[in-house]
Chain A
C-alpha cells in the first residue's frame, strides 16, 4: 500500500484530519529521494570499482612489490581515517560498514605480505595476528557481526598457538592433571570478568552480545567435552580440534545448537546464569560422571519447557539429543554383547521399552496439559 492510499484510509477512519493529511503530503513531497540520480551514481561507482579491480588483477604480476605494499598501506590508512571520521561524526551505519571494510582490508594486507615475501606460516598464525589486532576495535562495534565472527577465530587461533608451542601445552596439561577443570574454569572466569567489565561500557553493545553468546557456547562445549572425555577438557578439545576435524565440527554443531536453546530459555526465564554455570564446571571437574547427568538434566529441562509452552519442536529436539546421549551410554553398557545375536535381541528389547515408555509419559503429560 502506498502512502497516498494509507493517508486516505487513515482519514476515512478518522485517525488524522484533512489538515494533517495535507501537511504529511507536503512534507513527503519536499523529501522525495532522487532514486534515478542515486541509481546512476551507484552504477557509475560500480563500473569504476570493477574496472579498477579488473585492471589491477590483469597487471598484478607486473606491479612492483613496493607499489603493491605502498598502495595497500595507503588504502588501509584512508579506510582507517574514514572509520575514525564516521565514529567522530556519529554516523553509526557508516561506521559499522567501514569498520568491517577496515578489518577485511587488514586481513588482505596480511595475505599480501605473505604472498610478496613468500611466507608460509601455519594457517592459524595470521588469523591470530589479525584477530589480536582487531579485537580492541570490536569493542566499538554496536552490531554483533564482527565480534560474532571474530571471537571464535581468535579462540581457535589461540588454541592452535598453544598446541604448536609445546611448553605452553605442557603447562596446560600439568594444570589439568592437578585439577581437571582448572583450565576451563580459568578461561570461563576470565570471560565472565570481561563480560562484567563490559557491562560498564554500554555503547559496546555488539561485543557484549557476541561475548554473551560465545560465553554460553563455550560453557556448553566444555560441559559436552567433559561428558565425552575423562575430565581432561582442554587436552581433549585441543587434540580433537587438531587431529579429528570432523569430530570437532560435530561437537561444535551440537554445542552451538544447545547454546542457542539455552540462551533462548534463559531469556524467557530472565535468569542470570554465569555463576551457576561456573559452579557447575568447578564441581564437574572433580566428579567424573556428573557431566553426563548434567547434559541429560539440561535436555530434560528443554523437553519440559516444550511441554509447558507447549511446543512439540522443542520436545522432539530434546528427545533427539537425549536419545543420542542414551545411545552412547547404551553402547558402553552393552559393549561386546552387541556383537552376538542374543545380545542384539536384548539390546533391541531394552531400547524398544525405553521408546515406548517415553512415548507413554509424553502422551500422558500432553493430555494433562490439554485438560
Chain B
C-alpha cells in the first residue's frame, strides 16, 4: 500500500507540471499583440538577467484588440523580460545610450492572462538588434 501511495505522490508533481505546461501552451495559441513599453529606471535597467519594462498605453495601437479598446486591466503595469547573461551587457549599453522605442509582444486571448512573448527594440526582435551591436 505504501508503495502505491509513494508512486502516486511521485507521479502527481509530474502531472501537475504537465497540466501547467499544457495551460501555458494553450495561452500561447492566442493572438499576438504588441504593447509599447519604456524602461522603468534607466540607471538600473538590468538587474541580473532581466529588463524591467513599464507598459506605455499612450503609444499603443488599441486597434489590435477586440472593439478597439486597450484592455489595460488585464495586463500588469510592469514586466520583466529575462535575457541570457551574454546579451544583458549589450542591452544595458544600448538602453543607456539611445533609449530607443520599445514594445512587448504578448500572446493574447480574451478572458486569459496575457503571456509575454518577445521584446522588440525599434520594431525588431531584440536578438536581431543586439546581434548587430
Contacts and interface: CB of A to CB of B under 8 A. Distances in A.
A180 B30 CA distance: 48
Contacts of B11: 80
A320 interface: no
B16 A133 contact: yes
B9 A113 contact: no
B116 interface: yes
Nearest to A135: B9
Give the dominant DSSP class at A's interface.
helix
A106 B13 contact: yes
A102 B11 CA distance: 11
A69 B18 CA distance: 10
B34 to A, nearest CB: 15
Interface stretch (B36-44, B65-73, B80-88, B95-103): B80-88
B14 interface: yes
B84 A102 contact: no
A113 B19 CA distance: 12
A357 interface: no
Nearest to A138: B9
B17 A84 contact: no
Contacts of B18: 73
B17 A113 contact: yes
A187 B115 CA distance: 37
Contact of B3 (A84, A102, A203): A84
Contacts of B79: 120
Contacts of B9: 136-137, 140
A134 interface: yes
Nearest to B10: A80
B25 to A, nearest CB: 9
B14 A80 contact: yes
Contacts of A83: 6, 10
B6 A87 contact: yes
A29 interface: no
Most buried by B among A77, A106, A119: A119
B12 interface: yes
A110 interface: yes
Contacts of B82: 115, 118, 120
Interface residues on B, range: 20 to 34
A133 B24 CA distance: 19
Contacts of A118: 81-82, 115-117
Interface string A55-74: 00000110000000100010
Given A69-B21, A117-B24, A88 B13 contact: no
Contacts of A84: 3, 6-7, 10
B94 interface: no
B14 A113 contact: no
Contacts of A113: 17, 20-21, 24
A88 B2 CA distance: 9
A69 B79 CA distance: 23
A129 B17 CA distance: 10
A134 to B, nearest CB: 7
Given A73-B17, A110-B17, A113-B21, A140 B6 contact: yes
A77 B18 CA distance: 12
Nearest to B49: A115
Most buried by A among B2, B12, B18: B2
A65 to B, nearest CB: 10
25 contacts: A60-B84, A80-B10, A83-B6, A84-B10, A87-B6, A113-B21, A115-B82, A117-B24, A117-B115, A118-B115, A118-B116, A118-B117, A119-B115, A120-B50, A120-B79, A129-B16, A133-B12, A133-B13, A133-B16, A134-B13, A136-B9, A137-B6, A137-B9, A137-B10, A140-B9
The 3 closest A-B pairs by CB, nearest first: A118-B116, A133-B13, A136-B9
